[in-house]
Amino acid sequence: MDADLRSIQAAREAADKAFTAWQTFKNTDPAQIDEIVQAMARAIEPEALRLAELAVEETGYGNVPDKRIKNLFNSLSVAEWLRDIKTLGLLWQDERTKIAAIGEPMGLVAALIPVTNPTSTIIYKVLSAVKAGNAIVCAPHPRGVKSGVATVEIMARVAEQMGAPKGLIQCLDQVTNQGTAELMKHRRTSVVMATGGPAMVQAAYSSGKPTLAVGAGNVPCYVHASKKSELAEVAEQILTSKSFDYGTACVSEQAIVVDREIAGQLRHEMRMRGGYFCTASEAERLAKVIFTPNNSMNPNNVGQSPESLASQADIQIPPNCRALIADQSEIGWHAPLSAEKLNPVLAWYESKDSDEGIDISERIAKFGGWGHSAVVHSNDPGIVSQYSRLPVGRVLANTPGILGGMGFSTDLEPSFMLGTGTSSGSIVSDNVTALHLINIKRVAWQNRPWRDIYDIYGE
């Protein structure tokens, strides 16, 4: 049997097994489910470093310290948030309107896992799916199978020890595109959670199943002149966010747009903290390293260190370099560094005033980043309000893009799946959580005499 047939068969068997397990699990007391979720999260914490090492070794993307933090964010922060929300049973009732809402699980979740975050995304999706009373089968990227299976094994083993039926939580260990497609369209699958590149998202929406999917992000970061006295902190936030896990997060900043009045000072602060500004010829060579001739990201250079990228582009960088920065004046594929870059590389634009700065930022967001996120650094609430016109799902003010977007440094829901809304073809613009994985049943009592319809509208 060839690889595709093995993967298809594995997907069918996993879906059937998970559905059977869910039939037993779906009536489990929500209090017991909460205990299972928290036990799974606790089991991940001591394994966070090992799983990070597995992910980097297998995929070649990112770095171990930051992948460890991603694992811990999901096993600690996401789990803590889940502890305080209600997903099943009576969610709320309104005595005045005589309506009650009851949360019910959807069933089997097919979870597509990106190669850039093969362990942390599984942690987040498994905790969320089970909190909502569902079964889940993870379909990792072929380059993330070993680390994905290892992550699921930890969580599934603990869940079973806590009383969950065997098979409720699974990870495919034989993966091809055909097998993943079979899992998505399987008759037992209730909903698809897709995180990945445009091709994966398109395939998910073509499966014929209800789908939660996220699009690409080309995140602009506008720095307004009102931050003049705080540019050291602004520079540190941007560089920390963009260099985190070597830029593998789509919510990290992609381009800096800065008012010309403070551009020189911010440029100095960026250099002082590890930002290397490329010459025009260096930027041209760098673009050829990051992108292929057909304007797609070179998968071999996603999530690579500044040293690796610079070496390939024949650029000499200082030893403390955290990100490569390229001055730009155009936006579009004739200026490829204006596009999304899943590595520690930033575009740099200067604006004459806030109107132009916001306009440049809007054009960047519309170039491959519809519906995702945008960052603004300003002490003027009016500027933040104007900036909010950008066609994105979240505007993050005075905070690092990755930490604000995933809900650590802001009060957004902690999540590793950031919806991008209908402007990018997604059904959701929220930070996706367990609350997106339940059906809500309304129980409505009569609160108006039904015969009044004839008095109001006539016969």
**So which residues are the catalytic ones?**
250
* DSSP assigned state of 78: I
CA-based torsion, 146, 147, 152, 157: positive or negative = positive
Category of 98 on φ-ψ map: left (φ > 0), alpha (ψ -120 to 50) or beta: left
**In degrees to the nearest 10, what's the CA dihedral of 272, 273, 277, 282?**
120
**Cα–Cα–Cα angle for 221, 223, 227, rounded to 5 degrees:** 145
Phi, psi of 106 (to 5 degrees): -85, -35
3 state DSSP class of 444: strand
Helix ranges (DSSP H) in 244-332: 260-272, 280-290, 306-312
* Sequence-separated (6 or more) residues with CB below 8 Å from residue 426: 201, 212, 213, 214, 215, 371, 419, 420
CA-based torsion, 134, 135, 140, 144: positive or negative = positive
User: From CA 447, how far away is CA 224, in angstroms rounded?
Assistant: 53
